[in-house]
Amino acid sequence: MLGAWEYLVKHPEKLAGWALEHLWIILVAITIAIILGVIVGIYITGRGKEHMADTVLYLAEIMMTVPSLALFGLLMLLLTSVGLKAIGFLPAVIALIIYGQLPILRNTYMAIRGVDPAMIEAGKGMGMTERQLLVKVKLPLAVPVIMAGLRNAIVIIIGIAAIAALIGAGGLGAPIFRGLRNARMDLIILGGVSVSILALLVDAFMNQVERWVTPEGLKRR
């Protein structure tokens, strides 16, 4: 523990570098994962898409069960075969997006499907189109559950991003794996603790975001 502290004091620029790399990877991955997950999640709630929804959610669940190392390996193969850069940032971000999908997709889908039928009937009965119903009624009411999914996904993504160091993406995983190879406890602790702190900070930030985006009338209940 002391060793980790000494290292930090001696080389703060190194930790900052790893942390920034980590942040950049998760930022890109989270942004794309949210956009993709929420859009697909909303899309599969549409009328007559029940089968598609089942398939998509099933696929997302299977992807969650693939060990991260295996997924990184698979992606390297896949990217090489299409002539893209197989190590570093790109495969890392793609893998993280995939891992973030299940909680986002599932919560978005469940939240929108779970909106009180009376609300939907009231909206329809007053002459809302499907789109108006989605934007004015379903989505606002679904916000709390969707946000819970996002936070879940973000924590998963931050953790797994550490493993991406193995395929040359850098980030806070780099000191951890270097420490493992060289039996350097200080580096392992430094990396591990930093990932946890980052996860806590981002979660606190998301807490604030949740407060901003939750409709006023739903908070006071």
Determine which residue in the list 50, 54, 61, 121 makes contact with other proteins, applying CB under 8 A. Answer: 121
Query: Is 145 near other proteins (CB under 8 A)?
Result: no
What is the C-alpha separation between 123 and 141, in angstroms, rounded?
A: 13
The stretch near other proteins (CB under 8 A) out of 99-107, 135-143, 168-176, 192-200 is 135-143
Minimal distance, residue 152 CB to other proteins, in Å = 23
Q: How far is CA 61 from the centre of its chain?
A: 14
**Count of residues in contact with other proteins, rule CB under 8 A:** 21
Those residues with Cβ within 8 angstroms of residue 101's Cβ, 6 or more apart along the chain or in another chain: 33, 36, 37, 40, 60, 63, 153
Query: Is 118 near other proteins (CB under 8 A)?
Result: yes
The stretch near other proteins (CB under 8 A) out of 36-44, 101-109, 118-126, 175-183 is 118-126
Closer residue to other proteins in complex, CB, 181/220: 220
Query: Is 114 near other proteins (CB under 8 A)?
Result: no
What is the C-alpha separation between 23 and 162, in angstroms, rounded?
A: 11
Q: What are phi and psi of 103, to 5 degrees?
A: -60, -35
Query: Is 197 near other proteins (CB under 8 A)?
Result: no
Query: Is 221 near other proteins (CB under 8 A)?
Result: yes
Determine which residue in the list 86, 132, 178, 192 makes contact with other proteins, applying CB under 8 A. Answer: 132
Residues 73-112 vs other proteins: string with x where CB under 8 A? ----------------------------------------
Minimal distance, residue 117 CB to other proteins, in Å = 10
| Residue ranges binding other proteins (CB under 8 A) | 118-119, 121-129, 132, 137, 140-141, 215-218, 220-221
